[in-house]
Chain A
Amino acid sequence: MSSVTNHDERPNPDNLDDPGLSETKTERVSYLRAGHTLRSWLFTTDHKRVALLYMMSITFFFFIGGIAAAFVRADLLTPSADLMTNEGYNRAFTLHGVIMVWFFLIPSIPNTFGNFLIPLMIGARDLAFPRLNLLSWYIFILGGIFTLFVLILGGVDTGWTFYTPLSSMYANGNVVLVATAVFIVGFSSILTGLNFIVTIHKLRAPGMTWGRLPLFIWSHYATSVILVLATPVLSVTLALIAAERLFGLGIFNPELGGDPLLFQHLFWFYSHPAVYIMVLPALGVVSELVAAAARKPVFGYKFVAGSSIAIAVIGFLVWGHHMFVSGQSIYASAVFSFLSLVVAVPSGIKIYNWTATLYKGDISLDPPFLFAMGFIGLFVVGGLTGLAVAMLAIDVHLHDTYFVVAHFHYIMVGGTVSAYFGALHFWWPKIVGRLYSVVWGRLSAMFIFIGFNFTFFPQFILGYEGMPRRYHVYPEQFQVLHDMSSIGASILGIAYLMPAVYLYYSLRYGQPAGNNPWNVTGLEWTIPSPPPKHNFDEIPTVDGPPYNYPVRKEAKHA
C-alpha cells in the first residue's frame, strides 16, 4: 500500500486510552459526519449511507445464517441424530438457505458496494431515485423482521426450494410466513434493480460513454436486468403457494388436477437467473480488483463487458437443468443441458481474460488481490463442477447429493463471499477514510481460502460416493469426510470473524487514507475519502477509457 502523507496527528496504538486519530479535515466534511443523529441515518437518502445501512443489516443476517450452518455442521459430526431432532435439522438448513440466499447473498454486493459505488463511478451525485433507495432498505428490513419472527416461532422445514406438494400441503412449519418474508424482500430487489438501471442510463457524467464504463457497472447493469425481470416470477409463485395453503387453490396439487412440476418450473425460472444475481456483481468486483492489482486495463474490455450481458440473457434459458430427474421430458432435458454449456462460455471468457490481464502487470499482493485470486480459483472449480452436473448422465447420479452442495458453495461462498471480502478490503479506505492492517488482511484472505477448501472439498467426494443432501442421519462410511468438513467449517467461521476485528480497529487507529491509497484509476478515487455528501463538488468530465494506466514503452533494464 502506498505510503500516506496527509495525516495530521500520530496516535499511539499501544495506549488503549488514546482516543485514536482525531477527526481529519476531510472526515469533518464527509457524508459520515453530515448529521449525527439516528434520525439523520434512518431518514437519509444519501446512497452512501443507505449502503452502510445495508452493510450492517446483511452482516447481521450473515451471522444468523452462519450460526444455522454451524448447527448443521455440528450435527453432521456423527452419523446419528444427536444434537437435533430430524425436524430441527430440517429447519436449520432451511433457514440457513433462505437467510443466506435472500437476506445475505442477493443483496450483498449490489446493495452495499453497488449502492455506494455506482454513482461515484459514473460521476453522479446520487442514484436516480434516492427515496426509492431508502424505501427498498425499509422493505428489506420488513422482510427480515418477518424471517426473524419465523425463526422465533420455530422455523420452516421445506428447504429453500419450497418444493410442492411438500410445502403446499404437507409441511407443518410456517411456510406462509416465510413465503411472505421472501415475497416482501423481492420488492426490495426489484426497486434496487430499477434504480440501478435508470441511474446507469440517465446519470452518467459527460463523456462517460458506455464504452468507458467500469466493468463493475456493466455487471451491475446485467444484474439489475435479472433483478427486475426474474424476481416478479418468484413473487407470484410464492403467492400461489400461500394461496394453495390458505385456500386450497389446487394449482400445484395433483389431486385437484394441478401439477407439482409447474412449481419447479416457475421456481427455477427465477432461481437459476438468481444465481447470476449472486455471482455477476462478484465478477464485476473481481474485474476491478484484477485491473487495480495489475495496474493494467482489463484484457479485452469489450468481451468482458459483453459477457456479463450474455450471462444475464442466456441465464434465463437454462432453468430446467435443476429438473433432470424430475420426470421432465428427455428432449427438454437435452436442450437445457446444452444451454447450460453455452452459458459457461461467457464465464470462461472472463476467467481467461483476467488471467491474460496479469501478464506483464505490476501485480500487488495486497489483500484485495489475494481475495480476487481466491475468487478466481474457487469460481473455476465451482463453475466447472457446475458443468459436470449439467451433463445429463452425471447429474442423474449426482443430483441432490453433496456434490451439488459443494458445487454451489464453491461459487456462492468461495466465489461471491470472497469477492465481497475483496471489495470490502479494496473500498474500505474509501468508505471510512482509514487504512487497515495489510498484514492481517493477507492473513485472513489465506485463512478463509484454506478453511473454505477444507470445508467443501470433501463434499465433492461425499457426493460422488452417494451421500444425499438434506440428510440428518447417514451411513457410517461417510463420517470421516463429514468430520473433515465440520472441522474446516470451524476454521472458516473463525476466519470470517478476523476482518471484523482489524477493520474495527482501523476505524479508531487507522491512518487516514487520502484520496487514492492504492494509486489506481476510477472516478471514485479522485474524490476525498470518505467522500463528501454530494460526492463531487463539480460533476467531472470523462475523457478517456477506464483503467487508463500509463503504458511502459521501453524495456527497463536492471
Chain B
Amino acid sequence: MRELPKVQTPYVDRAQQHEAGIMGMHIFLASEIMLFGGIFMAIAVIRQAHSQEVVEYSKELHYYLGAINTMLLLTSSFLVAAAVHMSRHARRKAVLALLVSAAFLGLLFLGLKGFEYWSEFQEGRLPVAGGMEKINSAPGRLFLNLYLVSTSLHAVHLTIGVIALLVVAGRIYTRRSALPQRSVVVETTAAYWHLVDIIWIFLYPLLYLAR
C-alpha cells in the first residue's frame, strides 16, 4: 500500500481539501451550463423565427437513435452514481467495474452518434461538404448546422468524460488513488459526467422532438 497522500499547501486538513475540490468542480460545471446556455438560446431563437422549417427538418432526424442514446447516458449516469457510493465505502473492485462499464456506455453513445452522422450524410442531410443534397432551405440548413455544432460539442465533452472515467479507473486500479481517502476524484468526475448527461437531456428534446 502506498503512503496516504499528504494534505496540500493551502489546506489544514483533508476534509477541507475534499470540500474545496468538490466545490471547484461544481463551479466549473456552472460555467459549462452557461456555455451550453448560449447555444440553447441560439436554437430557441432560430426555432422561434422559422418554426416551420425547424419542425420539418427536425422530423427528419433519427429520433429513435437519439432515444437509445438517451437511455445509454441515463444508465451510465446511474452506474457512475453507484461508483461514487461504492468509493466512499472503499469497494475498489465494484468502483472499477462501475466506472469501466459507464465509460463503455459512453463509447457506445459515441459510436451510435457517429453512425447517426454517417447515415445522415448518406441521406444528404448533414450540413457538411458533400452531405447536403437534401437540404434546400436556408433556415433548414441553419437548424441542421446548429444541430451539428451542439451535438458535436456535446460529443467532445462526452469524450473528455470517457477519458476522465478511464483515467480515474486507472489510478484506482494502480492504487495511485487510494479509497476511500481519494474518493473525491470519483466524485468530481461523476459530477462532470452527470452534467454531460443533463446537457443531452436538454439537447435531445430541443433538437429531435421539436415538432
Contact = CB atoms under 8 A, between A and B. Distances in A.
A45 to B, nearest CB: 8
Interface in B4-27: 9-12, 16, 19-20, 23-24, 27
Interface residues of chain B: helix, strand, loop or mixed (majority): helix
B68 interface: no
B210 to A, nearest CB: 16
B24 A251 contact: no
Interface residues of A, number: 44
Contact of A258 (B31, B37, B46): B46
A161 B199 CA distance: 29
A233 B149 CA distance: 15
B24 A198 contact: yes
Contacts of B31: 190, 194, 228-229, 231-232
B10 A250 contact: no
A243 interface: yes
Interface stretch (B82-90, B93-101, B134-142, B159-167): B134-142
B10 A119 contact: yes
B23 A202 contact: yes
B130 interface: no
Contact of A250 (B19, B41, B53, B138): B138
Contact of A232 (B32, B137, B146): B32
A237 B45 CA distance: 14
Interface in B174-192: none
A262 B42 contact: yes
Contacts of A193: 27
From A193, A228, A251, name the one whose CB has the most chain B CB atoms within 10 angstroms.
A251
A372 to B, nearest CB: 31
B13 to A, nearest CB: 11
A259 interface: yes
Contact of B46 (A45, A130, A197, A257): A257
Contact of A251 (B23, B34, B36, B146): B146
Contact of A203 (B20, B27, B142): B20
A266 B142 contact: no
B27 A126 contact: no
B145 A128 contact: no
Nearest to B27: A194
A256 B32 contact: no
B45 A262 contact: yes
B108 interface: no
A230 B46 CA distance: 22
Interface of A: 45, 119, 124-130, 132, 190, 193-195, 197-199, 201-203, 228-233, 235-237, 240, 243, 247, 249-251, 255-259, 262, 265-266, 539
